[in-house]
Amino acid sequence: MRLREENGLLRVMLVDTQWPGAIRRRPPAVRLRPNEWVRWQITYRQATSLGRGPWYYSLETLNLAYGPVASPDAFLGAPTHVVDERRQHTRYVRIQ
């Protein structure tokens, strides 16, 4: 993740470090004003290191606020910005 403050806004950009060198289309950066927050969701599908065996799926959710968070329940409501990178992963049947 890259964070940068510019002109009173916080620029939030997720960087894919899982697959170095891989080209993946990513949504543009989100710019937050003070007291705003973003919910960024992304899914991954991975195989074992040899590519054999079961697939592993994960869903990651990042909730990030710009400025102080007044309540522990702050992220339970509706976010100011939503970035949804969840995907429909295709199930492949391996032929032995």
* pLDDT tens-digit readout, 46-95: 777 676 777 778 888 999 999 998 888 989 999 999 999 887 655 555 55
Q: Where are the domains of the chain?
A: 2-85
Which pLDDT score, from 0 to 100, does residue 10 have?
A: 97
Which pLDDT score, from 0 to 100, does residue 93 have?
A: 56
Please give the C-alpha separations between residue 88 and each of 52, 71, 79, 85, in angstroms, as whole numbers: 21, 34, 23, 10
Which pLDDT score, from 0 to 100, does residue 40 have?
A: 93
Its pTM stands at 0.74
Cα–Cα distance measured from residue 79 to residue 81, given in angstroms and rounded to the nearest whole number: 5
Please give the C-alpha separations between residue 38 and each of 6, 21, 22, 33, 70, in angstroms, as whole numbers: 17, 27, 25, 11, 16
* pLDDT tens-digit readout, 30-60: 999 999 999 999 887 777 767 677 777 888 8
Provide the residue type at 28 as one letter.
P
CA angle (70, 73, 74) in 5-degree steps? 55
